[in-house]
Structure 1
Amino acid sequence: MNQHLGAERKMDEVDYPDEEEKQQLREKHYNATIIKRIDLTEDLARFRIQCDEPFMPFEPGQYVAIGLGNWEPRLRGTQPEDVPIKKSRKLVRRAYSISCPILHDADSPHAGQLAPVDEIDYLEFYITLVRQGATSASKPPALTPRLFGKTDGDRICVEKKITGRYLLGDILLDENVLMLGTGTGEAPHNAMATTLLSNGHRGKVVVATSVRFQSDLGYQPEHDELMRRFPNYCYLPLTTREPKNLEPNRPDYVGKQYLQTIFTSGRLAEMVGDPLSPSNTHVFLCGNPDMIGYVPPGAETPDRPGMLPLLRAAGFHDADEASGPGTIRFEKYW
């Protein structure tokens, strides 16, 4: 009886990790280092992470989970979180598509050359800081408020398994590739486009990304350089909340540049200088589920369609129905 009470009392005395234990937990669970953090805005950054052990070969478009301990501090200005003691020694993880630097840095031995994922020894991630839950009833975001408190040299966990079915597949050298993304959904497209160009792709490679503000385009200089070097490459940076999107009296007014709108209006084909026909074009979609427009069986059709039904109406088909040009591949985050 006394032993039982003693054990019970010992459990009651368990508290949150102190600084010494936090360091022990880091040494136990973390297996990678942030080697470079590139801040683009207060809420948007590129993280380059080098694993202690070589990571498994993977294909552009795939993803992996990264994690930090619940014992790590949260960034100021983010939603508070009450972590129960029983979870205070656990990791919080989230999967992210793997991006790439597109071009090697100026201080690299390969400065300025294409940097596809199979030619770099680190993983690059393109991540938005989520400061609070979507609604007042939502759980506080767990990972990014901790991640954005980290910088070069800090340790982190990278899961061993890199996976995902959002892949280039079989694309002939002269076929067109159209990649449509929103926000950080551009990440896998960066990896895919860089690989295509490094493999000598001859067809058009088009990456169109819709964001709120120009400052949310984290790879704009790299894409501009690709367009200077490769006549078949086209990057379309689209915004929805800049003055030119909202003020009709401006001489440069273009309206809100949603991907669905520029596709159905014909402006996309006009900007690219190609009809982007199902007969010779592969389409990839990644980002906001509303943009993608996947409707589960039995669910109600939304008032504003996403790209999937619009593409199908234009003669494209899902990749699992047939292969070759005209296929649509999309990343599922649900």
Structure 2
Amino acid sequence: MAVSTTPGTTWGSWQKLDGTVYAEPSPVLEADNRIRVFVQGASNSLWSRAQKRDRTWGEWTNHAGSPVAGTPAAIRGKDGKVRVFYRTPGNELQVIAQDRVNGSFGSPRTLATGIGGDPAAALGADGRVHVFFRGGDGALLHTRSKDLLYEEYTPSTSLGGDIHATPSPVLDGSGRLVVAVKGASDTLYTIQQKTENSTAFDGFESRSTGVTARPTAVTDAAGRVQIFHRGSDGAAWRTGQTDDHQSFHAPVSLNGSVIGRPTAAPGQDGRLHVFVAGTDKALWAAVESEENGTAYGTFSSLAGGIDVPVPIADHNNLLHTFTVGSGSERNLYHLRQNWA
């Protein structure tokens, strides 16, 4: 059965974008509505490839002087410029930024040393960039841009905890950042800003157990955080934020047979799409039965031979997924929705 999607759209065919990719890709939408995707390439180099104006793909760009060890985190600020945060082989947190909107990227800057994992980034309610990452002691660390001076960052501060995978931050409908993490004993925890744009966070709250991979946090059409993770039974699971943005409902299974972590993004009609790599290494997707609903359809195959799929919506809110091919080839692959 075909994957349920917005009426008037359909999924296209897999496109091979070549490259040599050693971690999850990180796509971002530039100010001129072209998608650019960043990857860790051979010899720990940071590479990117961007769409042209006609939506075909340009050549790979090597961001020289930016050695990366893991998955980069690309994000566009309210000023329209893209920034890419990443962990170096020497466990430094570094960032490169566009020198102008849609422009080239400048030299790397070091924001922290002795970090213990890959960074993840999100915009706060006032547009400041917040970066979360695992410290060398296993705690969740946090830095953010100073006011709206995007190229100046606060010293990293510890939010405590004992995290075991890359955090997943997202801004909820109340204007507060929520960070989902995999903690000790395969437990899912969340930590939330006390108030909008606050520097203080509430304590960690346990949300689920049996979490076997990095969780994925996104917001639904109502601004509620939805967290997806792989359970110890090999299925995809979801836990959703309550309407008042204060707590979370009990986790529920979406079933499926999942390798790695589920990922998710809202489609054009507001329904969340959940993507997984199945045990057959194909891409599978399940979609909310209705906008802001609690029920999901069954997983349906979109074929391919993939690792973790990473989705992003373009300026038309058509979904694209990027993934590393399964096996030893390490090429980047792309699948997109099209107008029917």
For Structure 1 versus Structure 2, the TM-score category normalised by the shorter chain is under 0.3
TM-score by length of 1: 0.26
Structure 2 length-normalised TM:
0.26
| Structure with the greater alpha carbon radius of gyration | 1
Structure with higher strand content: 2
Task: Name the one with the larger helix percent.
Answer: 1
